[in-house]
């Protein structure tokens, strides 16, 4: 009887055990590194292969949709998402200095060097430092937008640790690629607000502009999303410093040409910030990479596109979940720092 009861408890308990394993409502923890203090969440078993999620410009870890994180975890991954330095609950401890976004943006338009308080390489080092602190030697990386740029540097800096790359809505940073509209650039740089209400309206405007023309957004839903982010953390100066880090970055084509990490590039055909040729060009310069174009996808995780996004990403990650064959004879990519 005891054996029967044990087996029954085990069998009927399996669904709840699976659900708790991928519970996205885990506590946010913190790791202190040399220059930064990073807030992160770890979802899944400690024994599972790690998938590190790297968010884009101004984004917080809460901007990874919970259902997407749960789906990734249910593939057998330990999913780790974190706030980049200068946003969310993470902090950059060094004195910020007197960086001026308007001045540096003018230099950028004139083709002059941009002085940034830190670089995307520094931000990649943050992610590697987080893995060190959590004693994770090998891991997969999924980066979106600026997070995809950071992920490219991670793979170059530690190719024997990065098992696969998934790059969504991102770019090689090469000259000559299509630029975003001036309207979108203005919305991105409009970060000062006298109060919470104005800040929420500005963020909702930006989210709407980053969305797909195939989808009609609910304004109240956009305001709610903006409120969640604002109430968790609001640091417009940090976002401006991240923008400068992107503008100061030289083309990564030389770096990409040397990468030997299995890579999937996913891009939308309706991306208004990084038009589709950014994804095409990126994939063309990573040997052996796969390119998946999603019709109508813009520069946001919108409900209508979660299924095609997961349909592109999940099979790829499952295929590479425990494949380490590419590690042999890989050396770190060394590209001169041109900043």
Examine the pLDDT at 309 and tell me if it is beyond 70.
yes
Distance CA 168, CA 162 (A): 17
For residue 110, give Cα distances in angstroms to 56, 106, 107, 240: 25, 6, 5, 19
Instruction: State how far Cα 137 lies from the chain centre.
Output: 20
Helix (H, G, I), strand (E, B) or coil at 331: coil
Query: Nearest Cα to 52, choosing from 160, 164, 149?
Result: 164
The top-scoring range by mean pLDDT among 103-112, 134-143, 329-338 is: 134-143
For the stretch 158-175, pLDDT in tens is 999 999 999 999 999 999
Which pLDDT value is given to residue 190?
Answer: 72
Which pLDDT value is given to residue 93?
Answer: 84
Q: What is the dihedral of CA 217, 223, 229, 234, to 10 degrees?
A: 130
| Phi, then psi, of 53 in degrees rounded to 5 | -100, 130
Q: Which of 109-113, 128-132, 306-310 shows the lowest per-residue confidence on average (mean pLDDT)?
A: 109-113
**Residue where the block lists tokens 């540097």:** 153
**pLDDT category of residue 147 using cuts at 50, 70 and 90:** very high
Query: Nearest Cα to 48, choosing from 317, 335, 329?
Result: 317
pTM confidence score = 0.90
**pLDDT category of residue 248 using cuts at 50, 70 and 90:** very high
Mean pLDDT score, 58-66: 97
Distance CA 22, CA 25 (A): 9
């Amino acid at each position: 009887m005891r054996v029967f009861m044990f087996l029954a408890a085990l069998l009927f308990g399996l669904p709840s055990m699976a659900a708790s394993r991928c519970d996205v409502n885990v506590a946010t923890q913190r790791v202190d590194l040399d220059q930064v203090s990073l807030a992160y969440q770890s979802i899944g078993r400690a024994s599972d292969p790690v998938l590190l999620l790297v968010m884009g410009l101004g984004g917080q870890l809460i901007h990874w949709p919970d259902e997407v994180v749960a789906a990734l975890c249910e593939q057998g991954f330990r999913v780790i998402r974190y706030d980049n330095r200068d946003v969310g609950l993470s902090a950059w401890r060094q004195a910020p200095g007197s960086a001026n976004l308007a001045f540096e943006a003018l230099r950028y338009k004139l083709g002059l060097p941009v002085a940034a308080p830190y670089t995307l390489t520094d931000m990649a080092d943050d992610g590697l430092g987080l893995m060190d602190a959590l004693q994770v030697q090998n891991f997969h990386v999924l980066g979106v937008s600026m997070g995809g740029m950071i992920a490219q540097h991670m793979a170059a800096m530690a190719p024997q640790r990065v098992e696969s790359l998934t790059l969504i809505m991102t770019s090689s940073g090469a000259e000559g690629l299509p630029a975003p509209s001036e309207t979108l650039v203005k919305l991105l740089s409009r970060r000062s607000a006298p109060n919470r209400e104005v800040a929420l309206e500005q963020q909702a405007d930006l989210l709407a502009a980053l969305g797909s023309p195939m989808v009609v957004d609910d304004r109240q839903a956009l305001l709610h999303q903006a409120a969640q982010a604002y109430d968790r953390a609001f640091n417009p100066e940090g976002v401006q410093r991240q923008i400068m880090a992107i503008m100061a970055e030289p083309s990564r084509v030389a770096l990409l040409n040397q990468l030997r990490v299995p890579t999937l590039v996913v891009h939308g055909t309706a991306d208004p910030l990084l038009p589709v040729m950014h994804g095409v060009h990126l994939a063309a310069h990573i040997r052996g990479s796969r390119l998946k174009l999603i019709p109508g996808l813009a520069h946001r995780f919108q409900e209508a596109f979660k299924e095609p996004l997961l349909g592109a990403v999940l099979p790829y990650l499952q295929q590479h979940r425990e494949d380490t064959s590419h590690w042999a004879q890989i050396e770190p990519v060394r590209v001169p720092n041109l900043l």
